[in-house]
Every structure is written in structure tokens, then in C-alpha cells.
Structure 1
Amino acid sequence: MIRVGNLDVSIARRKVYEVGVPIDLSSRALELLLMLVEANGSLVRKSDIMKAVWPDTVVEENNLYVHVAAIRKLLGDYRDMLVCVSGRGYRLNFETQSIKSSGIEEVVSTSPIRKFAPPVSNTTLFGREKALTDVRSLLQQYAVVTLVGAGGIGKTRIAVEVAHKLSRDFCDSVLFVDLAQLTEPTTVRTIVSEAMGEVETVGISGWRKHNAAMHSMLIVLDNCEHVIEAATRCVENLIATKPGVRVLVTSREPLRAQGEVVFRVEPLDIGPIGVFSDVPPLPSSVEMFLDHASCIDLRFGRDAASVRRISRICQRLDGLPLAIEIASARAAVLGIEALADAIGDRFNNLSGGHRTALPRHQTLNATFDWSYNLLDVNEQKVFRRLGVLHRPFDISDACIVAADSEMTEADIVDAICGLCSKSLLADDVTRTKREHRLLETARSYALLKLEDNGERGVTEQRCELLEYGKSHRAPRVQLNCVPPRRI
């Protein structure tokens, strides 16, 4: 792999990557880029380019300029690396050197590398003081700490804050690796190696250090759920070969890696259910709502009636930070009353997250789509069918509501366990039993999916039979019995 600015070029595979993600480059532009890379900084004449890229066709030089422009666009801040020598040809302004290690040739580029510093956040973090303290404490005791929670609950925000606070403890050796854009699990190892400033040696386990003095390091692996197995293997290899490394992971489910401890990120405080106070101290969800709305419109109202309405909205949004962030932006434009009316159809009305956010964090619907699409078929079935249950439920309730001819009871139990692991079900634990429930936002999404799959009617009938059986304390089978004939 050869580094060209922000791109990684594999001549053998004839592929180009950016942050480990394959780039869809036209065949002509790819051929041109490979020629320039193979020239190793030497000039490639226009005539040679034209013969190689268009071997059987006579074309104007304008065609060449189009592909040169495409490559420069991909290079972004490194566009000046592609140099045009007027009237003669093109060259890449970089040098490479080959290193032989264990019989395997590696190529190291001297062009600038990407930075992996934690991003800087200029927003206030509400209601996370205890979480920050707990995570920092866990990182002192365990090699791997995974922040687990539903999409939009604030895992990345907590990880970034912890990384900044621990930068001094780790002598500023704190790396932030975002895996959100990766589509190939095999590239996880590559991007982590790059972040550590090390060359990945194909076929050899472990990493070879370039800086022997770097013995203490914190690596934040953000958004691991879609490459969970590759991330797990990478993390286990890291902690096995580098005792001084600590890894902070964010994911919607645990890695289940050796040496891992799981920290479940909870929603923001919403106060007692059904109680809408306007007296300080306000719940952290309400404080966040007011802060974000005021940033959009300084005239945003903080009167007692508005604060009580905001408290009600935050409870309906389950204290989910992403939902509150989007809702507060809408409230600053529509007003509190209009927003309260729109919450019932939250998946159509709550959109417009930060422009620079990941696409799945710009609308509430996209956030849940991301999680839903990562489920297997049985987990999807059970999740959407559980949407008809308004109250906490146990495994037996779930089996009645979610049952069909294709799933056994064991399949449903496995799906329930998977949904809990992937942060789509919340637990209600009492002294005598453990029950589960869908938060209101998740339940609204499940009902939409149930409707889309044409299953709402029959699933609601099962739910009605379940409730009837509970209220009458009657065996379920009696509900379908033929009534006795009158004599």
C-alpha cells in the first residue's frame, strides 16, 4: 500500500482507499493514478499516458484533463502533489522507500499522514458528570472499556470528552479512530495501524513499533457495531501485544472481547414520569433542550409554562440526546406548542441534525434505520412485533406476541437477547423478576416497521388476546374454543 496524500493506493489490487474505504474511481482515472504512483515521483509524459489509458482510441487532450481534475479532487488538501510540467506531462511530488521485513516488502510514503486527534467539541455536555468519572476510573483498571447504548444516546460525545481529559495521563498519546465510514471489515486493522504510526505487515500478527518510546497510549475506536468482529480481533491483538495500550470503544453492542468491561450509557435524566416541573434544578434533558434552542434563537422563551412543556417533550423523547437536539432546533423555529403536536409523528417531523454529522445522525429515522438494518431476520421480526406492547413484558409475553410458524420459542429468546445486547430493549428489574420494554421512541419506530411489513393487524390481535388472558386469568387455549350449544 502506497500513501499518496490522503489516499492509499494498492498497485497489486488496483484499488484506491480513503480512510480504509474503497473509492469508486473511473477506470481511466485509476489507470492514470497507477502510472503516476509507479513512476515514483518521476515525470510521466503525456504521450505515454495517452497510449496507456486510451490504447485503442484517439482522443483529445481535454479527456486527460478531466481525469487529472478528478484525481486532484480526490486528493483534496493534497491536490498540489499532482504536478503538471507544462508541455511535457505529469508527476506526483512525493518519494517512497521500500523496507524489507521478514521477507515481506512494505512501502512507506513520505507524504503527510492524516491526523487522529480527538475532535474538539464546543458544546456543553449535560448530565454526564458521573459517567465521565466512572469511565475514567474503569480505564485505569481495564485494558478495554466499551461504551454501549442506543443510537444517538451520546456515546461518542462521552468518549471524546474522556479522551481530552486523559490526554495528560497518556502523555498526549491519545488517538481517535472513527470507523463509521468503513465498509470493509478487513480495513479496521489497516486504519488502526495507520493511526499508531506503524506499518501493517500482511501475514504477521502484531504490530511493529516505529517509536519505541511510545509505551502508554489511549485509542478511541468509535462506531464499531457494523464491523464488530474485525474490531474485536483488532482490539484483542492490541492488548495482547501492547500492555501499555488502553482502548475505549463505542458501539451499540459489546465486543465480547477478552479483557473488556462494558459501560452502558443511559439516556439523560427526564425527571419523575408525569411530573413536569419548572423549578431548578431542572433535569439534564431539559437543560440541554433549552441550551440548544437558545443557541439557535436567543429569544427562545424560558417562562414556566414553556419549561413544563419542554419537560413533557423530553419525557416523550426518552431523554435521547440526539432526539432532543433535533427537537430543540425545530422548537426554535416552530415554537413549543407546534413541536408538542409534531412529536406524535416524530420520525417524519424530527430531522435536521448538524450538517457535519454522520448521515444517520441527521434524522431520527436514519438513526433507527441504521440499528434496524444491522439486526438479523429474527431480531427484526421480534423487534417490530414487540412494538404493540405498551407495558414492560417478560419472555413468555414476547413469545406470545412475536410467535409465527417459522420461529421456535428458542429463536424468540435468542432474538430478545440480541435486542438487549444491541441496546434496542431496556430492562426493568425488580426483586422477583426481570422484564423488558421498548422506549417510546423505539416503540414508535417498531410500529412503523410493523405497518410496513403488513403485520400490525394480526400482531395487535395477539396482544389483545394476551391482555384478555391476563385480566381474566384464563388459559390462553380457552380463547379459541367453540362456545357450548344451547339446549
Structure 2
Amino acid sequence: MTLMSASPASDSRATGTIYFFGPFRLVPTERRLERDGHPVTLGSRALDILIALAERPGEVLGKSELLRKGWPDLTVDESNLRFHIVGLRKALGDGTGGRRYIVNVPGRGYCLATATQHVATMPSQTSQLGRQPLLPVLDRIVGRDAAIHDIVQTLRTHRFVTILGAGGAGKTTLAIAVTHQLAGDYGDDILFVDLGDLADPTLVASTLATALAIDTPSSDPTAEIIDDLRERRRLIVLDGCEHVVDEVAKLAEQIYLQAPQVGILATSRERLRVEGERTIPLSGLAHPSLGECRTLEEAMRFPAVCMLIERARAAGYVGTIGDADAGCVAGICRTLDGLPLAIELAASRVAEYGWSETARLLEGRHRLIWSGRRTAPARHQTLQSAIEWSYDRLDPIQKMIFARLAIFSGPFQLTDAMSLTLGDDLTATEIAGVLQSLVEKSLLAVVRDGQATSYRLLDTMRAFACLKLDAGGDRQAAAGRHAPAEGRALGDVALSWLWEKRLLS
């Protein structure tokens, strides 16, 4: 749950965002551009254009949009834009050594053709020139002390840790807290690289090179990165890796093997699966089970309840909370599976609706579209956007099965999932592979009871899957496949699976 990094689409002048690209450092709040720590002279219009391009790196901005950025409330000719683009390219040394920054896309506009690493910070938190400050940690992180301790100790012992969890579990928040815990180990040499907004996977290495202030015209600066890190003691945080996981995995493994003093902390919804990686799964905060709490004191023993009440108070709730509310408060946390992002979004509604009405609204799909902090990345503004971030990266078969799993309100087994694909010409092995992939991408939970293994969609995931199932008009058909009347067909599927696994002759 990233609460500190600004989305590139946000106004960097309001959030205090600082951008790093190549040897450059752009500070919009101070209207300053530096190259290797030295000021670069730019006109006001050119600086406005550069800020607009830096906020959305790799994205083509139309000429009309750039004209609005550089000349608000004025109507000017496109030749003015071209004039200032020329000056901007000259100031950046565009084209020198083969490096290109400002690219013209004929008929469309211009883009900043390099990845930017951005941090949101207040000017007073900026350390010495050219250094990236530690991102600010939340005033109080509820229920994660043990996880933070485990991550810190594992990093000190093994150097390479991935915090693994679903969207909204709080991975980024923990990663930032860990950097503060390890400040004494690494000093200023802690680098936070937000990969969440990186649209092109091939830019992973270039993004890290930019953050390290390595100026190279190479399209793959991996060798230069390794040379820079080989003899250095440094902690590198790679945040939001799941959508570029293949490229991050290759780069992180090489750093781990060839830079023996560098620590790597990654956050991802999917394991990198490379040499040296240790994963620490992050599930929801502990919350009461059904009927477990009769008093508020009993409910407050659970971190999810503590966080919900704290965040509700912070969002303006001033009513009293007593034993009569304990069951309702516990139920909200249970419905939200203890996910910190979900709890924060729900807490922001308590002042307006009260406890019981908020709980009632959560039974529907309102929870998916409730908006959160303005400074959060776009993928964490709502629960729907957080889950959509992972869903969009599934292939069509995975999307189909994920949506159909919405008909299960509780745990289910492989044979149950197989019943949903009757007539789709999928083998048991293929279906089992899809379930495993959904588990690996933190979209599906594994439930183990002794020797038995089953699966479960978290309630928030199920609400999202219901949306997709209804949008595809597939709910009735999916329910029909799994209805008791289909018991004989399900038996045939189970027998087919046993035969396929050579357990039946």
C-alpha cells in the first residue's frame, strides 16, 4: 500500500515530487533542473514542458496538452512549442553520445524517452545534493512489528528478500519501514526505485541506472550497473515488480551474484524465483473469526480492529464505540480479510455512515470503488484498481476461470474448479496450472487442513470476480455447471483427472 510515492499523473508541484533521469535531477516545487548537482538554465515555458513530460515518462503528450501546460489561459501557435522543445533539447544535451531524451512522435506529440525515478518528499526532507532521502514512514504501522523484524533480520543474513502479497496488503509501507530500520547499516546508500508506473519492461535496467546516476547510452546498462555496485555496500528497494517480474528477476539475480555487499528488497505480488531470493509472505492483518468477540476489549486484541478504529478516528469519526459495536467492527475486518488498504478505505466512510451502515455497504460492491488518499499511486486509489492491476496481466483462460470462481462463497477444491470448465476442452493439468498461477499472483489463497488442500478467493477478490463474471454474462452458466444436477458430470471430471494422473487404470 504505497502512501508516500506520488503517481506520475499527479501534480508534482503540489506533492513535492523530485524526478531523477540520467544525470538530471528535476525539482518542480523549486522550479529547478540540475545536472550532476549543477543548475541547468531553462526558460519558464521550457521548464513547464519538461515537468509535464517527466510526470508521464514514455507516454506521448499531445501538442495541445503541452501548449496548455506551457501557456495556460493563452492561445498560441504550435511554433512556440517547437521553439521551446529545441531549447529544451539543447539544455539536456539531447543527441550527445547517442542519448535521446525528448522524442517527437509525428502526428501525435512529444515524450520523455527515458524512465524517471520519482520520490515524493517535502523540501525539508531532502538530504545533501544529489542524494535520495528516505521516504517518510507512516506515523504508526499497526500489527506489522513481527513482519518488519523478520524482513530486517533476513536481509541482514541473506541480502535478498521479496515481500510477497496481494494488492493492498501493505508491501510498500513495510518496505519503507524496513529502510528506516536499516539506515544504520547502510547510511545514505539506500535507494528506493518505484517500478509500479513503468510501462515498458525493457526499461527496468535503465530505470535503475537512472536512479544510480549512471549516464550511459546503452539500451541495456546491466554491465554498467554491476560495475557500479560491485564494490559498494548498498540497499536497493525495487517496489512494484509484478508487472515487469521477468526483467526484474534477471537483473536482481545478477546484482545478487556479482555485487556481494548489495542488499535487495523487492515488493511484488509474484515471486521472482531466482537464485538467492527469500520470500516473506504478507497476508491481511489478524482479525476476529465469526462469533469470537463479544466485547470491544476482546476485539481490540486484533490488529485489524485497532487499525480500523484508528483510521476511522483520523477520518473524522467522533462517535462512541462500545461493546454493542464489537460484533459489527469485527465483521467489517473479517469481510475485508484484514487487508490494510481495504480497511483504510472502509474507515474513511465510517464518519459518514456509521458502523452498521458501513458494514451493510461492504456486503455489496461499493467497497471496490471507494477512493483513498489522493497521494497514493493510481493502482491503490481504489480496491478495484488494486485488483485490476493484477487481473489485467492474466491471459484469457486465467481471466475466465478467475471470474467463474466467484460462484464459490467459501473454500473449494480442484475438482470443483474443474466443474466450471465443462465443455471448454481444458485438461485437469491445465486447470490445476491456472489455479497455481492465480496463487502465485496473489489472487487466490491456499487453504490447508492437515493433508487436504483447497483454495479460497478472499472476499474482496470474490467481489471483483463477480463484477467480471456479470460483465461477461457468464454467471448463470457458471452456476449451472456447478449445480447439484451436474453431479454426474462432475464425477466424470474427477475420474478423468484421476486417470490423467495415472492414479486410475
**TM category, shorter:** 0.7 to 0.9
Partner residue of 1:234? 251
Please say if 1:381 is aligned against 2:393. no
Q: C-alpha offsets along residues 12-38 of structure 1, whole Å, 9 cap, x if unaligned?
A: xxx9974893142447999xxxxxxxx
State TM-score, norm by structure 2. 0.73
Residue 210 of structure 1: how far off its partner (Å): 8.8
SS of structure 2 residue aligned to 1:258: coil
Partner residue of 2:57? 21
Of the three residues 342, 348, 367, the one matched with 1:323 is 342
Identity %: 29
Of the three residues 421, 440, 454, the one matched with 1:435 is 454
CA distance in 2, matches of 1:130, 1:223: 22
Partner amino acid, structure 1, of 2:244: V
State TM-score, norm by structure 1. 0.76
Structure 1 range deviating more: 432-441 or 314-323: 432-441
Q: C-alpha offsets along residues 354-386 of structure 1, whole Å, 9 cap, x if unaligned?
A: 001112211111112111111111211111111
Distance 1:143 1:212, change over 3 A: closer
Residue 403 of structure 1: how far off its partner (Å): 3.7
Q: C-alpha offsets along residues 268-293 of structure 1, whole Å, 9 cap, x if unaligned?
A: 01123332341154311110011111
Partner residue of 2:377? 358
CA distance in 2, matches of 1:438, 1:66: 51
Of the three residues 185, 188, 197, the one matched with 1:172 is 188
Partner amino acid, structure 2, of 1:373: D
Distance 1:198 1:241, change over 3 A: farther
Residue 158 of structure 1: how far off its partner (Å): 0.8
Q: C-alpha offsets along residues 30-68 of structure 1, whole Å, 9 cap, x if unaligned?
A: 9xxxxxxxxxxxxxxxxxxxxxxxxxxxxx985444567
Residue 143 of structure 1: how far off its partner (Å): 3.0
Residue 311 of structure 1: how far off its partner (Å): 1.0
> Rg: which structure is higher?
1
Partner residue of 1:465? 484
Of the three residues 264, 270, 283, the one matched with 1:253 is 270
CA distance in 2, matches of 1:28, 1:333: 41
Partner amino acid, structure 2, of 1:439: L
CA distance in 2, matches of 1:476, 1:98: 66
Partner residue of 2:281? 264
SS of structure 1 residue aligned to 2:142: coil
- Trace 1:83-162 onto structure 2 (pairs within 5 A): 116-162=132-178
Partner residue of 1:279? 297
Distance 1:215 1:348, change over 3 A: closer
CA distance in 2, matches of 1:95, 1:405: 56
Contact 2:413-2:455 within 8 A present in 1 as well: yes
- Structure 2: gaps spanning 5 or more residues: 1-20, 27-32, 36-49, 67-74, 102-127, 494-505
Partner residue of 2:106? none
Aligned length: 417
Distance 1:449 1:106, change over 3 A: closer
Residue 2 of structure 1: how far off its partner (Å): 6.2
Residue 398 of structure 1: how far off its partner (Å): 1.5
State the superposition RMSD in angstroms.
3.7
Of the three residues 185, 192, 197, the one matched with 1:181 is 197
Distance 1:297 1:29, change over 3 A: closer
SS of structure 2 residue aligned to 1:331: helix
